[in-house]
Structure formats: C-alpha cells, structure tokens
Amino acid sequence: MPRFTIDIDDKFNDVLNQLAKGTTKADVIRRAVASYQYLKAETASPPLGKRISITDAAGNIQKDIVLP
C-alpha cells in the first residue's frame, strides 16, 4: 500500500481530531477523498453545471454547492 506524508497546520489538525472521534485521521481522509470523488463524478457528468444542494426537511434549497 502506498504511503505519503503531508504537512498540515494546527487548525486542520484540530478539525481532523474532531472528525476522527471513534476512528482514525487516515480513515477520515480516505472517506473525504471517496466522497469528493463521488460528488465530482456526479457533477461532471452531463448535463454539465450540475450542483449539489443542501435542503431542509421540506425540500427547500438552503445552499447550492458547485465543485471546482
């Protein structure tokens, strides 16, 4: 399995620590990359310009997200 080393700042490390409760930082990063890969693929497929929407319980759009 390939390994790599990254330098992160203290704020990013704090976020990783919060997200890693009950798991590992590496697992958080793996899940984040898998989620990004899925979302990127879904928004890149035709029709182009798809958005990811955050909705409330009634289905009202609260925020649209466009991935770069």
- Note the pLDDT tens digit of each residue in 48-64: 778 889 999 999 999 99
**32 contacts: CB under 8 Å, gap ≥ 6:** none
- Taking each helix axis as running N to C, give the angle between helix 25-44 and helix 10-19, from 0 to 180 degrees, rounded to the nearest 10: 90
The reported pLDDT for the residue numbered 43 is 83
User: pLDDT band at 33, cuts 50/70/90?
Assistant: very high
Provide the 8-state DSSP code for 44. H
The reported pLDDT for the residue numbered 44 is 80
Quote the tokens at residue 30. 């793996």
**Tokens 């399995």 label which residue?**
1
The reported pLDDT for the residue numbered 56 is 97
